[in-house]
Copies of this chain bind each other. A is one copy, B any other.
């Protein structure tokens, strides 16, 4: 079984964490893969917890999707370290991190849509 994990920072604002859970649910619906949220801090589950649960459910491939708009400490340093540790724990599971969102061509389109919604009103 292949599983996806949407990995975000986590926030004291619960609505922010709910937004991550919601996008993970949408990803599951769209992809057909199991997809779960996971957080670096301030929200639950954390990535080790999410990976453990997925391994338990039979995941043999886990792709971690850093839900960040720009490169930074969390996706470039923290995440690789956590994944290294998890590979040591779950030897029978292939765990890989994907690229963060930066550079995807659809991002500009999102900003254009957001701007257009305001410009119609101004």
Contacts and interface: CB of A to CB of B under 8 A. Distances in A.
A89 interface: no
Contacts of A6: 111
A104 B113 contact: yes
Q: How many copies does the complex hold?
A: 2
Contacts of A65: 111, 114-115
B101 A121 contact: no
Q: Interface residue tally of chain A, by bracket? A: 35 or more
B13 A71 contact: yes
A100 B16 CA distance: 11
A46 interface: no
- Most chain B beta-carbon contacts within 10 A, residue among A12, A76, A112: A112
Q: Please name the 7 residue pairs, one residue from A and one from B, whose CB atoms are nearest each other, closest first.
A: A16-B70, A19-B70, A98-B114, A106-B106, A98-B118, A104-B110, A16-B72
Given A31-B112, A69-B101, A106-B106, 9 more contacts: A6-B111, A8-B70, A15-B71, A19-B69, A23-B108, A30-B108, A63-B118, A63-B122, A69-B69
6 contacts: A4-B111, A13-B73, A19-B71, A27-B111, A65-B111, A99-B114
